[in-house]
């Protein structure tokens, strides 16, 4: 008799759980009819289905349980999808030598094409993505310190990058208020433009004067670079 009563209780609990799972969308008010034991069992079923479903079935199930999903789990799901999509896109680009299609990414990640499309459309405004960007910005000072280290130890490329990062190059004011513009085919110092055509029309004495100034102001390696350009 006791066994039959126990079986009846389990059966009733399963009926209650299945009734909840049959809803198009589960809300927190729907859970009020369940006992604590039934709620625990429902969470187990939800977790199992969440891990095993793929593609559109996974999307539909996520939509069903979205109102009762905690913000932490929602953020974890977004991070999981983002990392999976990012890694798969990078891998397929290496393999195919081109940008993979959304369908190809969907097959590889086992996410639906709709999820891939939605993620690409919305990721840049998602709080989790913006948080990742802030993390990269937080590391800027560490990268800048590394660039400075190489610059003071004689790496001229690092020195140029350091000055550029600090706003001393590319149309920024350099020391003493002198504006120096470094373009692809000319140098502008305040209002004076020094281009290849200008240099061609200079006589030997004028060129020697400019070279003498550069030797004083710049390291020898950069003077050679200017003469060869």
Q: What is the tens place of the pLDDT at every residue in 42-89?
A: 888 888 888 888 888 888 888 888 888 888 888 888 888 899 999 999
Q: Quote the mean pLDDT of the chain.
A: 78
Q: What's the CA gap between 50 and 88, in Å, rounded?
A: 21
Check residues 207 and 113 and name the one with the higher pLDDT: 113
Check residues 221 and 92 and name the one with the higher pLDDT: 92
Beta bridge partners of 193: 188
Burial class (CB in 10 A: 0-12, 13-18, 19+), 138: exposed
Q: What's the CA gap between 102 and 85, in Å, rounded?
A: 10
Of 13-17, 50-54, 145-149, 196-200, the range with the lowest mean pLDDT is 196-200
β-bridge pairing 180-182 and 192-195: unpaired
Which pLDDT band holds residue 223 (cuts at 50, 70, 90)?
A: very low
Please check whether residue 181 is in contact with residue 190, taking contact to mean a CB–CB distance below 8 angstroms: no
Question: Which DSSP string corresponds to 171-186?
Answer: SSB-GGG-BEEE-SSE
Whether 174 has a pLDDT exceeding 50, the answer reads no
**Is the entire prediction scored with pTM above 0.75?**
no
Check residue 193 and give its pLDDT. Answer: 66
Cα–Cα nearest to 116, from 71, 68, 56: 56
Contacts of 111 (CB under 8 A, 6+ apart): 54, 55, 58, 81, 84, 85, 105
Q: What is the tens place of the pLDDT at every residue in 122-152?
A: 888 888 888 888 888 888 888 888 888 888 8
Beta bridge partners of 189: 180, 192
DSSP helix/strand/coil, 55 = helix
Of 93-97, 141-145, 162-166, 214-218, the range with the lowest mean pLDDT is 214-218
Which pLDDT band holds residue 198 (cuts at 50, 70, 90)?
A: confident
Strand order in the sheet with 192-195: 180-182, 186-189, 192-195
């Amino acid at each position: 008799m006791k066994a039959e009563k126990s079986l009846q209780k389990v059966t009733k609990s399963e009926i209650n759980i299945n009734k909840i799972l049959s809803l198009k969308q589960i809300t927190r008010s729907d859970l009020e009819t369940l006992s604590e034991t039934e709620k625990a069992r429902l969470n187990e079923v939800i977790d199992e289905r969440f891990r095993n479903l793929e593609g559109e079935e996974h999307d539909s199930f996520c939509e069903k349980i979205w109102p009762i999903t905690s913000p932490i789990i929602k953020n974890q799901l977004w991070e999981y999808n983002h990392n999976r999509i990012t890694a798969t896109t990078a891998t397929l680009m290496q393999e195919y030598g081109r940008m993979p299609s959304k369908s190809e990414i969907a097959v590889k990640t086992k996410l639906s094409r709709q999820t891939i499309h939605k993620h690409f459309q919305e990721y840049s405004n998602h709080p989790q993505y913006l948080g990742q960007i802030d993390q990269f910005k937080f590391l800027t000072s560490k990268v800048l310190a590394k660039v400075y280290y190489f610059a003071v130890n004689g790496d001229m490329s690092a020195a140029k990058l350091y000055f550029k990062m600090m706003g001393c190059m590319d149309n920024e004011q350099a020391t003493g208020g002198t504006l120096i513009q470094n373009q692809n085919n000319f140098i502008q110092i305040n209002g004076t433009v020094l281009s290849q055509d200008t240099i061609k029309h200079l006589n030997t004495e004028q060129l020697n004067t400019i070279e003498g100034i550069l030797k004083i102001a710049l390291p020898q390696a950069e003077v050679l670079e200017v003469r060869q350009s």
